[in-house]
Amino acid sequence: MEDIVTTVASKAAESLLAWVRRQCGYVIFTNSYVGQLDKELEKLDDVRVEVQRSVDHADNNMWEIKREVNRWKNNAETVANEARSVLDNDGRAKKTCFCGWLPNPKGRYCLGRDARKTAQAIQELIPQGKFERVYYESAPPGLVGGAAEVNSSACDGGDTIQELIPLGQFKNPLPGLVGGAPDMNLSAGGGGVMITDSRASIFQDIMEALDDEKLKVVGVYGPGGVGKTTLLEEVEKKLRKEGRSFRMIVKSKVSQTPDLKKIQDDIAYAFGLKLKDEPSEIGRRDRLCQRLQKDPSEKILIILDDLWDKLDLKAVGIPLGDESRGCKLLLTSRFKDVLEQKMLANRTFRLEGLNNDEAFKLFEKTVGDKLKDEELRQIAPEVVKKLVGLPLLIISVASTLKYSHVSAWKKALRKIDESNIETIVKLSYDRLNSEDAKSLFLLCGLIGGTIQVETLFVLGMGWGLFQEFSKTMQESRDELNIALESLRSICLLQDGGDDKENVTIHDLYSEVVVSTSFRGQNSLMMNSNYGSLQKEKLEKCCAICLVDVGRDRLAELMMCQFPNLKILMLSQPEDWSWWQEHQHDVEECWGLLDFIYMKELRVLYLCSRLIFTLPSSMEFLGNLHSLYLDQCHVADVRILGKLKALQILSFAQSTISRLPKEIGELINLRSLNLSNCYMLKIIEPGALKGLIKLEELYMKESFDRWMGTDGIPLESRNIRLAELKSLTRLTTLEISIPDPTILFKDGDLPFGNLMRFWISIGNVEGREFLGLRTMKLKLEGCDSILSNDWVQKTLQKTQYLHLDGLGEFKKNAHELCIQGFTQLKHLDIQNSPSIKYIISSLNDLLTAFTDLESLFLKNLINLEKICNGPITPDCFSKLKVVCIKKCHQLKNLRFLSEMQRRVHLEEIEICECDSLQAIITGDAGKVEVVVDDMVELPNVQRLDLRKLPNMTSFCSGAKGAPIQVIFSFFWV
C-alpha cells in the first residue's frame, strides 16, 4: 500500500513538474517559440499558394472544388491570421517591469504560449493541405441518375443560404430535381415521329427483354430510315428516367466500316475511363474488359447502333458469354442474320414501317394546312402509300411538297416507285432551285455522317460553289448557309447537334448519292462505304473520299489517271498502334502518289501523320483551289508556291516548323489556316506580304514570335507585324501578340474591317467562348494601345472581352470603347486597380451593355460600384451570369435591383468581397422595394456565396425590413 501511494505521488509530481517546466518555458524560450512560429507560418503560406493555384486551375476548367478543400482553406486562413496577430504582438515580450530592470514575465508568458500553440496548429494543418486533387471528378456520362447532387449550404464553414435570406421560399423545382420532371413523352425529338400504336408494343417488348436477366443480347432490325436509332433513343430515355435495371448505359455507332478505336473511346467516355495513355490495341482491349467485369453486380447496357456485319466484341473489349456478368447488349442492324447468326442475339425485334394511318398522320402533320385543299387531300394518300411507311422518307417528301403547287404533287405521284428509293431522294433533290444546294448535297453524300459546316465551306469553295453572286468569303459563307437551310427545309440534311456548326446526312441518302449518277456517268463518286470500283469506272469518278485509307486502296488509286477528278480526300486513323503496324507500307505508298494526270483537280484533302514529303508532281495541279494538309508532318512546303490558282490553304494541326517566303507568291490565296501548328517557330519575311487577296488568316495556338528589332541572324529572322499592312482585305483574323510593345513600333494595322476575330495581346489566359468575336488584352503598362484606331473599331464588334492588368486607364470600363460595346456578350475584367466603376454617368441616363449575358469581375481592389449614376432599363437587361470575386470595396449590386434586370439571371457567384452587405438593395434610384414585397428570381439555377463577412441579407428592403425571395435553383 505504501508503494502504491509512493508511485502515485511520484507520477503526480512528474506531471506537475512537466507543467511547471512548460509554463516557465513560455517565459524563458519566448524568442525561440516566436521564431518557430514565423518559420511554420512561411511553410503554411507556401502550401496555401500551391492549393490556391490548384483551385484557380480547377475554377478555370469549371470543376467543382471539394468541400474539404474549402474547409482547409478557411481553417488555414484563420490560423494564419492568428499567427500574424501573435507575431504582430511581439512587443509584449519587450515590455519591462520594476522600472525597466526585468522583462515583463506575463507578457513573455502569453506570447510564448500563443506562439507555441499556434505553431503546433500550423504543423497539424500543413499535411492536411497535401491534396492529391482539389476537385470532384465528374460523374461518368453513362451513369444512370448521375447528375450532381444539390448542396444545401452557400459555402463550407460560412453562412447558409437560409441565414442569408430572411423568409426565403423556394418553388418551381427544375426538371433535374426529384419530382421536377413530368412523365416521359414518348416522342423522337429530331424528326418529330411519335412512338405510335404499332410501335408501342415493340417498345414495351424491348423494355421487358432488357429486364429479363436470361437475355444477354437483344436486337432490333429493319430497313434504313425506319426509325431504329430513334426507337433506341427513346428506350434509353425511359431507362434513364426510371433509373431502373441498369447502373450504366453506354452507346456507340458502328456503321458500315467499324472503327474499333472509336467504339472503345465511346464506351470508355461513358465510364470516364481514360484510354489515351494506352497505345497498344491489346492494352486498350484488356483495360476496357477489366472495367466491364469489375463488379459482377453492376448492370451495364451497351447499345451498338447500325451493325452491317459481325463485330468482333472480344477485340473491342466487350466480354462474351458467362464472362459478360452484368453486361447486356442492345443492337440495331438492317439485317436479321447479322443479329441472329453473327451476333448471336437471344431475341430480335423487327421494326416495320408505319401503317397507312400512322404514315398519313405523320405526312399530314408535316405538310400542315396544305391538306385543306380538297384536290391535294385526294392525292396525299396515294403519295404516302408509295413511301413504304419509312418516317425518314415521309418527312422528306412531305417537306418538299409543303410549299408546292398541285402539279408538283401529281408529278411526285407519277415518279415515286415503291421499290426504288433513289427516285424518292431524286424527287427532293430535283426540287432544289439552287445548283449550289444540289452540289452541296452531293458533297455531303460523298463525305457521309456528321460533317463540320466549315469543312463543307472550304471544300465547296474549292469546288467552285457559292461564287456566282459572291465577291468576298463572307458573302460565300452567307450563300452556304442559304443552301444548307434549303437542304434542311426538305429534310435532306439534319442539324448535327445543338448548334449550327455541324450537319448530318442520313446513311440512306449517302448511299444513294454514291451509288447513283445524279449528273450522268461523269459524276460518279466513291467513298469508303461503297467498296471498290472497276478501273474504267474509277477513272470516271469526279470525287473520291477515302477514310482510314490503307495500302490496298492507295495501290488501287495509283493505277489510275483520273482525268475528270475534281475532289480527292484521303485520310488515315489517328491510332498510333495502326501507324506503327502500317507505317513502312503506307509511307511508301504516299511517296508514290502521282498527281500528273489529275489536272482538273480542284480540291485536295490529305490528312495523315505519315506524310513527310510533298510529291514533286503537285506542281502540275494548276487548277487546284483548296489544299488541306492537316495533321501532316511536312517540313519543306516551298513547292506550294507554284500553285498560283490556290485560294484556300490549310496546315491545321500539322508539325510544320517554317513557313517559307515562297508562300507569298500565292497571289490568289484568300484563306490561310495555321491553327494549332504548335511547332511553327519561323515565318520568313515576305511569306505573308504578297498575299494581297487574303481575307482569312487563322493563327490561333500557333506562331506568335513577331520580330521586334533587328540584329537577329538572317537564318532565324522572323516576320514583322508591319508585313500584315498589305493584307487590306482581311475580314477574319486569329492572332496572338505576346509583346504589346511591338504594336508601338509597327504602327496602326489594317484590322478595322474584321468581321470574325480572336485576338490576344499580351501573355493572357482566360475563358473561351467558341465562335464569338474575342479580344483578350493584358497590356502591362501599354494601356495607350486602346486608343489605336483598329483596336477601337474591333472593340465595337467584340462579343467576348477579357481585360487583365489595367493600371493606367483611369476611365470607367464602358469608356474603353469610345463608340460603346454594342455587341458585347461577355465581359471579364481582372487585376485592374484603375477600374472604379463599370458604368458611370452622373447626369444623363446612360445606355451600355444592352446585350451583355455574363459579367466576370475579379481582384478589382478599387471597384466601388458596378453603376455610378442613372442608367436606362436596357442596361444589363439580358444578363444571365454574374461572377464577382475579391472586389473588397463593393458594398452591393444595385444594378440588379430592378426586375427587368433580374429576370434572366441564371447564375450568381459572389466570393471574397469584404464590404458587401447585400446582393439586391431597395434604394437604387427611383426603384423602391416595399416591406414584405416578394422578389422573384425564376431562372436562377446556381447561387454561390462565399466569404462575405459583412453580408447581412440577400435583399435589403425598405426601412431594413425583411422581404421574401423566391428562387428556382440548384444550391451550391
Sign of the torsion formed by the C-alpha atoms of 437, 443, 447 and 453: negative
Mean pLDDT for the stretch of residues 519-527? 67
Residues 714-739: tens digit of each pLDDT: 455 789 888 899 999 999 999 999 98
Q: Which residues contact 204 (CB under 8 A, 6 or more apart)?
A: none
For 803, the enclosing helix (H) or strand (E) is strand 800-804
Beta strands at 327-333 and 300-307: parallel, antiparallel or unpaired: parallel
Q: What does the pLDDT read at residue 734?
A: 96
Q: Is pLDDT of 109 > 90?
A: no
Q: What does the pLDDT read at residue 567?
A: 93
Can you count the helices (H) and strands (E) in the chain? 25, 37
Residues 116-143: tens digit of each pLDDT: 788 888 888 888 888 878 777 666 777 7
Burial 224-256 (b: 16+ CB within 10 A, else e): bbbbbbbbbbbbbbbbbeeeeebbbbbbbbbbb
273 DSSP assignment = -
What are the φ and ψ backbone dihedral angles of 587, each rounded to 5 degrees?
-60, -40
Is residue 503 within 8 Å of 493, Cβ to Cβ? yes
Is residue 200 within 8 Å of 361, Cβ to Cβ? no
Considering only 144-153, 522-531, 864-873, which range has the smallest mean pLDDT?
Answer: 144-153
Report residue 106's pLDDT band, with 50, 70 and 90 as the boundaries.
low
**Secondary structure E strands in 51-199:** 96-97, 102-103, 169-170
Burial 351-360 (b: 16+ CB within 10 A, else e): bebbeeebbb
Q: What does the pLDDT read at residue 293?
A: 83
Residues 350-383: tens digit of each pLDDT: 888 788 788 888 888 888 877 877 777 888 888 8
Whole-model pTM: value is: 0.69
Residues 267-309: tens digit of each pLDDT: 888 888 877 777 777 888 888 888 888 887 888 899 999 888 8
Is residue 587 within 8 Å of 634, Cβ to Cβ? no
Q: Closest Cα to residue 232, out of 143, 307, 166?
A: 307
Is residue 103 within 8 Å of 22, Cβ to Cβ? no
User: What is the percent of the chain with per-residue pLDDT over 70, rounded to a whole number?
Assistant: 78
Residues 194-228: tens digit of each pLDDT: 567 778 888 989 999 998 888 889 999 887 778 88
Q: Is pLDDT of 949 > 60?
A: yes
Total number of residues shown for the chain: 972
How far, CA to CA in Å, does 199 sit from each of 183, 186, 209, 442, 864? 19, 11, 15, 33, 63
Mean pLDDT for the stretch of residues 497-521? 74
3-class secondary-structure state, position 86: helix
Residues 57-92: tens digit of each pLDDT: 777 666 778 888 888 888 888 888 888 887 776 555
Report residue 171's pLDDT band, with 50, 70 and 90 as the boundaries.
very low
Is residue 687 within 8 Å of 669, Cβ to Cβ? no
Q: What does the pLDDT read at residue 272?
A: 81
Which ranges of 307-452 would DSSP assign to H, the alpha helix? 313-316, 336-337, 356-367, 374-385, 391-401, 406-415, 421-430, 435-447
Residues 545-582: tens digit of each pLDDT: 888 777 777 777 878 888 889 999 988 765 544 445 55
Residues 133 and 73: their CA atoms lie apart, in Å, by 14
Residues 753-808: tens digit of each pLDDT: 899 999 999 988 888 898 899 999 998 878 888 888 888 889 999 999 999 988 77
Q: What does the pLDDT read at residue 931?
A: 42
Q: What does the pLDDT read at residue 731?
A: 93
Quick one: angle between helices 2-28 and 105-128, nearest 10? 100
